[in-house]
């Protein structure tokens, strides 16, 4: 009697072991093994802010150019009815901070190591219109001004900020970098870009996407 029980237990254990072995074999047959190159190719691509800006900057520049409002007209509209001007011309970049696509023509009044200062006809008295050259360059207004690059389009805050930084680098290298700063005194600049409200009153810091030089 005892021997029969033992035999049945041994048989059961053998079947269980065989079943486990068969399962492992089946899993191995169904598993696709990848070499390191194939594993890299199968992984989700890493986000590249440089690639994003390379792809989107031409369309961003076109949209800014088409929507741009003359800076003196915008300054007047904001002075008359700020809420209406924001609704008509601006994009809410979050927390009530508005950014505007603008175009401005002015003569170069001064160039230093940080800014180009423009004298612009039609601006309010005491208005300070500048194009940043170095530390004050900011890609966030360019990213935000079309209303098409939304925070939710990116995986996290880091990617969102990296895109702004890449826009800044592109402006620094391709727009500012194309200028002969030493030869700008007295020239006339036609500037298309983005202006974000904030900072000192009557100060207009234009983040440029296009700068034309004449005169």
Residue 10 has pLDDT above 90, yes or no: no
The SS3 of residue 100 is: strand
pLDDT number for residue 27: 53
Measured CA to CA, the distance from residue 75 to residue 104 in angstroms comes to: 11
What percentage of the chain carries pLDDT values higher than 70? 80
Instruction: Report, as an integer, the average pLDDT of 75-95.
Output: 95
Q: What digits encode the pLDDT tens for the residues 137-159?
A: 999 999 999 999 999 999 999 99
DSSP state of 186: T
Closest CA to 194 of 211, 208, 177, 173: 208
Instruction: Report, as an integer, the average pLDDT of 2-7.
Output: 54
Taking the CB of residue 72, how many other CB atoms lie within 10 A of it? Answer: 19
Residue 130 has pLDDT above 70, yes or no: yes
Mean pLDDT, the chain, integer: 87
pLDDT number for residue 156: 96
Is there a contact between 135 and 126 (Cβ–Cβ < 8 Å)? no
Is there a contact between 114 and 137 (Cβ–Cβ < 8 Å)? no
> Buried b vs exposed e over 184-202: b needs ≥16 C-beta within 10 Å?
beebebebbbbbbbeeeee
What does 170-183 look like in DSSP terms, one character per residue? HIIIIIITTS-GGG
pTM above 0.85, yes or no: no
Instruction: Report, as an integer, the average pLDDT of 167-192.
Output: 97
Measured CA to CA, the distance from residue 119 to residue 121 in angstroms comes to: 7
Q: How confident is residue 196, by pLDDT bands cut at 50, 70 and 90?
A: very high
The SS3 of residue 41 is: helix
Instruction: Report, as an integer, the average pLDDT of 177-190.
Output: 96
End-to-end CA distance of the chain: 113
pLDDT number for residue 116: 98
Residue 173 has pLDDT above 80, yes or no: yes
Is there a contact between 189 and 118 (Cβ–Cβ < 8 Å)? yes
pLDDT number for residue 211: 98
Q: What digits encode the pLDDT tens for the residues 16-61?
A: 555 555 544 455 555 555 565 655 555 667 999 999 999 999 999 9
DSSP state of 169: H
Residue 175 has pLDDT above 50, yes or no: yes
What does 110-157 look like in DSSP terms, one character per residue? EE-SSEEEEE-TTSPTT-EEEEE-STT--SHHHHHTTS-S-GGGSSSH
Q: How confident is residue 5, by pLDDT bands cut at 50, 70 and 90?
A: low
Instruction: Report, as an integer, the average pLDDT of 84-97.
Output: 93
Measured CA to CA, the distance from residue 102 to residue 120 in angstroms comes to: 13
Beta bridge partners of 203: 128
């Amino acid at each position: 009697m005892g021997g029969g029980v033992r035999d049945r237990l041994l048989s059961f254990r053998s079947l269980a072991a065989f079943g486990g072995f068969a399962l492992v074999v089946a899993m191995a047959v169904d598993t696709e093994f990848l070499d390191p190159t194939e594993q890299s190719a199968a992984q989700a691509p890493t986000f590249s802010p440089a690639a994003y800006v390379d792809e989107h900057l031409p369309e961003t520049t076109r949209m800014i150019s088409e929507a741009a409002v003359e800076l003196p007209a915008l300054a007047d509209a904001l002075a008359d009815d700020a809420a209406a001007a924001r609704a008509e011309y601006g994009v809410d970049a979050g927390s009530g901070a508005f950014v505007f696509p603008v175009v401005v023509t002015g003569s170069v009044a001064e160039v230093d190591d940080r800014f180009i200062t423009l004298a612009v006809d039609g601006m309010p008295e005491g208005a300070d219109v500048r194009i940043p050259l170095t530390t004050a360059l900011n890609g966030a207004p360019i990213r935000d001004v079309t209303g098409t690059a939304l925070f939710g389009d990116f995986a996290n805050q880091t990617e969102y900020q990296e895109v702004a930084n890449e826009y800044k680098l592109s402006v620094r290298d391709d727009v500012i970098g194309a200028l002969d700063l030493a030869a700008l005194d007295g020239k006339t600049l036609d500037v298309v870009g983005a202006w974000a409200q904030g900072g000192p009153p009557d100060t207009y810091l234009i983040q440029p996407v296009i700068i034309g030089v004449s005169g």
